[in-house]
Every structure is written in structure tokens, then in C-alpha cells.
Chains A and B, each alone.
Chain A
Amino acid sequence: GAGVSQSPSNKVTEKGKDVELRCDPISGHTALYWYRQRLGQGLEFLIYFQGNSAPDKSGLPSDRFSAERTGESVSTLTIQRTQQEDSAVYLCASSFLAPGPGGETQYFGPGTRLLVL
């Protein structure tokens, strides 16, 4: 597609339920990133993929969070047993260049707004 797409746009769930967020990167982009942004806050790095591998999982807040990427394309971010503090916008981005000195430009999707009641 022309840009990064994410689904769903909005998700309301009950505390304790699992949610799955999807990201479709720009075709041909090797790197894919997930961020979390709480209301009025900056971006919190969660994880990135180079191809289907995740070299840096350091940002995942807890073991309730996991992510995978298949076919060097679509990625899913799963949050198990959601808590109210998980409420945020989850942003996905992709880049043609790998992270590093090359200077990757990240292209962002519109985000998924998650509300945990």
C-alpha cells in the first residue's frame, strides 16, 4: 500500500482481556517499529523488527506484551490480560533503511487508540 496502515483504529476492551493490534508496513520496508504514546506524552519505544527478527525488545513494558512479524511484512502486537494503564495510542512505523548510521526515516501509521475499561 501507499502508507503504513494499522487496525483497528480504535479498540475498547475490558480489563483482563487480551488484545491484538495489527500493522501493515510500506511494502519493501525492512524495519518495523512499535511505540506507545500515552495522552499528552512523548513516544515510548517498545520494539523493532529487522526482517522478521526483533534485535531490540528492551522497550516492552512487561511480559504481557509480545510482538511478532511474519513474511517481513505484517506485524502484530499482543497485549495479554490488559490493564487500565495500557490505555494509550499504539503507533507503528516502518523504514526502508535498517536502524543505524544510515539515517532511517520512519513512516508512521495512524495508530490504534486503545482504551481499557
Chain B
Amino acid sequence: SQQGEEDPQALSIQEGENATMNCSYKTSINNLQWYRQNSGRGLVHLILIRSNEREKHSGRLRVTLDTSKKSSSLLITASRAADTASYFCAAGPNQAGTALIFGKGTTLSVSS
């Protein structure tokens, strides 16, 4: 299967703590994206990092990418209860006409 893997599958933290989620993928990529899903509904795009980038920030989000290890991490700093959701990584293959390959997701619970 080409599907990526997120680690951990589930994460529970307290408000104010940082949350780190990891993603591994198998294919050769041009970009790696992270999406968020609330309550089993539509996913929302959070951030995209290109294969020639190592780190990217957006607000409280920090994404790293290590193409030699085929892995990425998403760090959410100073978490809030509203960050409770499932987070998915999606690998963007290098091949034209090949769609994103989504991982299985990490479920984050932030308690107040």
C-alpha cells in the first residue's frame, strides 16, 4: 500500500501543551501536506511544505520534512481545546496525474 502512516494514532494532552504528530510515507514526493478533520466531516488544508524545504511555520503550526527518512512532523504549540480533531498528512507524488496519498490520521484530544 502506498498509504502513509501517522504516529501516534491517538494523542491526549492538556491545554497549553505542545502536540507533535509524525508521518511517514513511501513514495517519492514533490510536497507534503497536512489536513485537519473535525468530527468525521470534510478535511481542511493546514499547510504545504515542498520537498526542497526542511521547515515551515504557520501561526502555531510548525512542520518539518526529512526526505531522506521519508518523514514529516506537525507540531502544534500552546494547544487549545479547539485543536481537538484528526490530523492527516498527505504525500504529493512527483508524477504528474497522481493524486495525494493520505495517511491514516492522528486523533488529537486537548482537554481544558
Contact = CB atoms under 8 A, between A and B. Distances in A.
Interface stretch (B11-19, B35-43, B64-72, B74-82): B35-43
Nearest to A107: B45
A5 B48 CA distance: 23
Contact of B97 (A43, A50, A106): A50
| Size class of the B contact interface (CB-based, 8 Å) | 20 to 34
Most A CB atoms within 10 A — which of B41, B42, B44, B99?
A: B99
A109 B41 CA distance: 8
Contact of A99 (B88, B97, B104): B97
Contact of A108 (B43, B94, B97, B103): B43
B111 interface: no
B40 A103 contact: no
A99 B100 contact: yes
